[in-house]
Amino acid sequence: MAMRYLTSKLAHQIDEELMGAVGAFSLDQLMELAGLACAQTLATVYWKDKYPRVLVCCGPGNQGGDGLVAARHLGMFGYKPTIYMPKPGSKEIYQRLKAQCVNMKIETLEPSNDTQSLKSALASSDVILDAIFGFSFKPPVRAPFDAALSLIANSGLPIVSVDVPSGWNVDEGKVDALALDPDVLISLTAPKEGVRSFKGRHFLGGRFVPKTMEEKFQLNLPEYPGFSQIVELPRADDAQKL
């Protein structure tokens, strides 16, 4: 059976059950596993000897939290991450994740509506991890992210997006002119409806979905290889031929 793609409504429901009495996961656990999968995806495609400098772009929500976890793991992997968060999250978990990055001596750009620091960071980076907007995002893109996405999109750097490329509608795909067009996508839990037509390299991560939940929602997830936190999915063009 084909793998199930999730609507935004179903993705929310699964998240709630994962962190409820049924799934019994904490947000910290899920974010740690998701962020590790994101870091592993970037490291799989963009080796650190050629792409050592990673600009990790984080939004203020859980997606940004995944990005902070990924930044820490990338530092552990031997990369040189820099964190860009124009609007840092206010939740306590976000503050702890940020402190963990500080303890790893990972540089964070000072929050600012001025894009000069982002321009400088882009000029001295090799690859971008896009963890700005998650599946809760509703277009259009607003300040300060509109200017940031434009600069990121026009940087010429390869982009790895987390779960849903920033600026995309979760159910409808790329409908905003400012939306990013990444080279690599790492879907979490299960792919979302809006990325069915994604043409780049597509990975699935978040090796935490219980068998009971996979069966209940008929997710039909692929098997993860060995001890890896990620599995590569067929490209959109190849999948349509199957």
Binding region? 62-66, 130, 134-140, 163, 166
Closest listed residue to residue 96, CA positions, set 131, 74, 65, 56: 65
What CA–CA distance (Å, rounded) separates 64 from 44?
A: 21
Per-residue CA distances from 5 to 114, 152, 211, 218 (Å): 38, 27, 17, 10
Return binding residues for K(+).
Answer: 63, 130, 166
- Residue 227: its H or E element: none
Q: Where are the beta strands (DSSP E) in 5-164?
A: 53-58, 80-84, 107-108, 127-131, 159-162
- Residue 69: its H or E element: helix 62-77
Return binding residues for (6S)-NADPHX.
Answer: 62-66, 134-140, 163
What CA–CA distance (Å, rounded) separates 33 from 205?
A: 8
Task: Tell the residue number behind the tokens 């001025």, with chain if given.
Answer: 114
- Diameter of the chain measured on Cα atoms: 49
